[in-house]
Amino acid sequence: MLSPITRPACFRLAPHIKRSSVPLKQFRHFATVEANTPRAAPIPSRTRATSVSHDRATFTIRDGPVFNGKSFGAKSNISGEAVFTTSLVGYPESLTDPSYRGQILVFTQPLIGNYGIPSAARDENGLLRYFESPNLQAAGVVVADVAEQYSHWTAVKSLGEWCAEEGVPAVSGVDTRAIVTFLREQGSSLARITIGEEYDADQDEAFVDPEQINLVSKVSTKAPFHVSSSTGDFHVAVIDCGVKENILRSLVGRGASVTCFPYDYPIHKVAHHFDGVFISNGPGDPTHCQDTVYHLRRLMESSQIPVMGICLGHQLLALASGARTIKLKYGNRAHNIPALDLTTGRCHITSQNHGYAVDATTLAPDWKEYFVNLNDSSNEGIIHKSRPIFGTQFHPEARGGPLDSSYLFDTYLESVGRYKRSQAVFQPQRDPRPSPLLVDLLAKERVGVVPTTGMENLMRMGSAGEEAARAA
């Protein structure tokens, strides 16, 4: 089991190798094993950090209005897709959600920042207690009014200080009602944040569309990592498309140790070592993840293992089954969206963050709709008619609340338990529990994920990488 899962990139190099002047790649296979390696707290990326800027700021929507305000974050100019959320609370969780990578997040709640930003404390499983990932993921922040003075027992800094540390520009003093009205009428639009400069219409050509980038490749771990559970003996493989910490917590807290794989890992080749497969949330257009779709299709063709997907994971599951996805006009991003369970007739208030949805009219005969959005009638879930496979567009883990649908994790793990027991009957020698050696060798947090740098810098980094590859 060890060889197909582990990669040299997840090993910790020995101290003498670090001190050597020989190129690192020559030592690729030298490694030392450190038992029970702790999950270290994230270190802010000081190369992106700036002091808090209070300069003039301009928020410009392409082919739309221009809004003048005041900066309260990093002194950095960026572009991205402008989207809005109607969530009243949970801005630390929202801003660290990898699904927001490449997007400028507009808050409809008039006052943001009044309870500050908490510390990067970790729980008993080594997972971030208050954040969904180690870094701020949104490309930019737009609010009507920001609270520079905060008050909360968990707070250690202001929202502005945090944005500046993370290199993310933020704008206040703009009419967010007018912004949301435009986005609802015209749909999600490309936008720019400019700090300390006058707006120049000629710069419209510089707008960058994050939908043209495979954003999942930016937020997914580059090598497997493992989080152990002390309360059960399930072992679940998680396809990390930008997994939120609370998804991992929801699995680990229910007795499932998780091994997280890169989004494009051939999961069908190692699924027999696990009790279940889980596909996480993530950013951007699901059609960029063709390798993931192929691997999921192979998995469902070759295995009866239980599978659950959330958000982007739900969309990838649908694509693998032969269905299609569509881009919504302005998406659904809120903590209070009603979703109807078509199998029970019950309505759940759900947390959502997505710009794409599954076209339920394209589902294969073996699949049916599971949930439907009662606001816009878009699809909110699919389920296989005879196998333990389902996905939800909304977030049952909902760290910022509500928790109406958290029972879906119990439903999934019940099917994992049944599968595990059935495998024990037919394969008495099978033991899917992670070996101590595997646990020691694998990293304990995401590997090689680069923090957000704004879409212009992201495109520049990608172009530089392509040029370097051609030169090599």
Whether 311 is catalytic is yes
Nearest Cα neighbor of 99 from 447, 356, 403, 460 is 356
Active site residue 397: yes
**Which residue of the set 132, 395, 445, 456 is catalytic?**
395
Identified catalytic residue from 163, 311, 354, 456: 311
148 is catalytic: no
Helix (H), strand (E), coil (C) string for the chain: CHHHHCCHHHCECCHHHHHCCCCHHHHCCCCECCCCCCCCCCCCCCCCCCCCCCCEEEEEECCCCEEEEEECCCCCCEEEEEEEECCCCCHHHHHCCHHHECEEEEECCCEECCCCEECCCECCCCCECCCCCCCCCECEEECCEECCCCCCCCEEECHHHHHHHHCCCEEECCCHHHHHHHHHHHCCEEEEEEECCCCCHHHHHHCCCHHHCCCHHHHCCCCCEEECCCCCCEEEEEEECCCCHHHHHHHHCCCEEEEEEECCCCHHHCHHHCCEEEECCCCCCHHHCHHHHHHHHHHHHHCCCCEEEECHHHHHHHHHCCCEEEEEEEEEEEEEEEEEECCCCCEEEEEEEEEEEEEHHHCCCCEEEEEEECCCCCEEEEEECCCCEEEECCECCCCCCCCCCCHHHHHHHHHHHHHHHHHHHHCCCCCCCCCHHHHHHCECCCCCCCCCCCHHHHHHHHHHHHHHHHHC
Asked whether 318 and 363 are in contact (CB, 8 A), the reply is yes
Q: Compute the distance between CA of residue 151 and CA of residue 27 in angstroms, rounded to an integer.
A: 49
The catalytic position among 81, 211, 245, 397 is 397
Q: Considering only CA atoms, which of 432, 411, 439 is closest in space to residue 126?
A: 439
d(CA 90, CA 112): 10
Task: Report, as residue numbers or ranges, the catalytic residues.
Answer: 311, 395, 397
